């Protein structure tokens, strides 16, 4: 047994020595302009600003406008993340969109993002892991880069939850909002980066947070629509209990994996679901609230987008410095949970992006729809030629 442990330690440290360090090179967020306040909600359902503030900490949330969708928000956040890093999307190897509200059941929203960015070489797929989706995506992308399968990956959390919320159900409609956040991952010569990721799931809690219809179990019918089965349904109290247990547990486990004591954690960025969940978790962890980042008062719960949006805002607010240790921790439908420990390796404040790079990216994005149109025309022409000469 002793020998096995020693062998594992030697193997792990050899692996660590050869493992590539993965950094967050760029970050961006996108939020709809339309603001829905608690007072607005109190005119729609039987609720009040006082109840929502006291039970959730939320003051307002953003709601997607008519032309805005999960893909459009994801594209905007992605462009900002790429611009922050001065990175050409043509060099992307992978795009992951974590979402509970994809543009369609298929094709993947990530493919629409890939097309709009002109990321010609990138593989693209959606990831469904409830509100933990961004952490799942971060873990997969990090491991793919560490293994040498990819050099650069874009991980996006994007949602239009307002489209699946029952605006007559006060137990759920007050909680959620729309938005997107993105992170560009890649290797760099800086030390630190993503030190570890931890993921978990417990499907026995699947019914606690669910969109019952629209899948193979309950395909859309007039009955499913009449019964409100295309709206998000949730057992709030049970999810609350799960969240306050899993946030401290996942945070501690992730820190233990890298041998980092809690005192050396500069900032915890939890999934922004409810201020009471965050405070109860902080108390269980023994972490002062001033080392926890929150912005849920302005956006509500944006599901997979909440952690990347919070990361962007923590950076913008100067709450993260080079060398700081951060934990991102999430939980959500599934049930799922996940955490990542990051040693911030990028200089901050980040150097400004050159005007030439910005111009190149602008041209790239203007060209992307033209290229897409040419590809469609080529396909149509190919089909026509095939029909004319069947053999
Ligand atoms: N306005 C006014 N009253 C409301 C209300 C609202 N928006 N929503 C619920 N209530 C009422 C309930 O009907 C209930 O009334 P009753 O006692 O007469 O039946 C009362 O408030 C208490 O409801 P309860 O569900 O016990 O409240 P709570 O303190 O647990 O808070 C949540 C409800 C949803 C805010 C809380 O449980 C929560 O945040 N859960 C986690 C949800 C979550 O994070 N989901 C996303 C996971 S990714």
For ligand 1, the distance from its centroid to the CA atom of residue 155, given in whole angstroms, is 32
Do residues 286 and 372 both lie within one domain? no
If you measure from the C-alpha of residue 50 to the centroid of ligand 1, how many angstroms do you get, rounded to a whole number? Answer: 13
Question: Is 192 among the domain residues?
Answer: yes
For the chain, what is the domain count? Answer: 2
Q: Is 391 helix (H, G, I), strand (E, B) or coil?
A: coil
pLDDT confidence of residue 5: 41
Q: Are both 362 and 270 inside the same structural domain? A: no
CB 156 within 8 A of CB 308: yes
Active-site residue 111, yes or no? no
Query: Among 240, 278, 280, which residue has the most ligand 1 atoms within 8 Å of its CB, making it the best to mutate?
Result: 240
pLDDT in tens, 204-254: 999 999 999 999 999 999 999 999 999 999 999 999 999 999 999 999 999
Domain-embedded: residue 3: no
Q: Is the CB of 332 under 6 A from ligand 1?
A: yes
CATH code for position 300: 3.40.47.10
CB 270 within 8 A of CB 250: no
pLDDT in tens, 346-370: 777 777 888 999 899 999 999 999 9
Residue 44's domain comprises 22-343
Q: Are residues 218 and 262 in the same domain?
A: yes
Please state the pTM of the whole predicted model: 0.93
12 domain residue, yes or no: no
- Among candidate residues 38, 111, 271, 325, the one labeled active-site is 271
DSSP secondary structure letter of residue 204 = G
Q: Helix or strand or coil: residue 86?
A: coil
For residue 1, the model assigns a pLDDT of 37
Residues of the chain with pLDDT under 50: 1-12, 14-15, 17
Q: What is the DSSP letter of 348?
A: S
Specify which residues 181 forms β-bridges with: 29, 157
Burial of 370 (0-12, 13-18, 19+ CB in 10 A): exposed
Whether residues 236 and 379 fall in one domain: no
**What pLDDT score does 18 carry?**
54
């Amino acid at each position: 047994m002793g020998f096995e442990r020693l062998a594992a330690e030697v193997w792990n440290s050899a692996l660590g020595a050869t493992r590539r360090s993965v950094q967050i090179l760029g970050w961006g967020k996108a939020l709809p302009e339309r603001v829905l306040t608690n007072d607005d909600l109190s005119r729609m359902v039987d609720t009040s600003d006082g109840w929502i503030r006291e039970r959730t900490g939320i003051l307002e949330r953003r709601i997607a406008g008519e032309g805005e969708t999960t893909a459009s928000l994801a594209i905007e956040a992605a462009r900002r993340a790429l611009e922050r890093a001065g990175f050409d999307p043509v060099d992307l190897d992978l795009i992951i969109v974590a979402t509970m509200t994809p543009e369609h059941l298929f094709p993947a929203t990530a493919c629409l993002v890939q097309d709009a960015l002109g990321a010609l070489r990138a593989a693209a797929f959606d990831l469904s892991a409830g509100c933990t989706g961004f952490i799942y995506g971060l873990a997969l992308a990090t491991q793919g880069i560490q293994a040498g399968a990819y050099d650069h990956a874009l991980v996006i959390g994007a949602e239009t939850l307002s489209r699946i919320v029952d605006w007559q159900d006060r137990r759920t409609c007050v909680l959620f909002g729309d938005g997107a956040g993105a992170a560009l991952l890649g290797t760099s010569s800086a030390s630190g980066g993503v030190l570890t990721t931890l993921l978990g799931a417990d499907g026995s809690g699947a019914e606690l947070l669910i969109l019952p219809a629209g899948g193979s179990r309950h395909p859309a019918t007039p009955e499913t629509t009449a019964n409100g089965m295309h709206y998000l349904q949730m057992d709030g109290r049970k999810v609350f209990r799960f969240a306050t247990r899993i946030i401290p547990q996942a945070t501690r486990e992730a820190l233990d994996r890298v041998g980092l004591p809690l005192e050396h954690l500069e900032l915890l960025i939890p999934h922004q679901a409810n201020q009471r969940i965050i405070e109860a978790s902080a108390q269980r962890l023994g972490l002062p609230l001033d080392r926890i980042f929150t912005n849920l008062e302005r956006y509500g719960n944006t599901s997979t987008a909440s952690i990347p949006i919070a990361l962007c805002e923590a950076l913008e607010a100067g709450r993260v410095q080079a060398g700081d240790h951060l934990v991102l921790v999430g939980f959500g439908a599934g049930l799922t949970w996940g955490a990542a420990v990051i040693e911030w390796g990028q200089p901050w404040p980040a150097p400004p992006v050159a005007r030439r790079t910005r111009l190149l990216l602008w041209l790239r994005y203007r060209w992307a729809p033209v290229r897409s149109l040419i590809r469609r025309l080529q396909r149509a022409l190919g089909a026509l030629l095939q029909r004319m000469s069947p053999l």
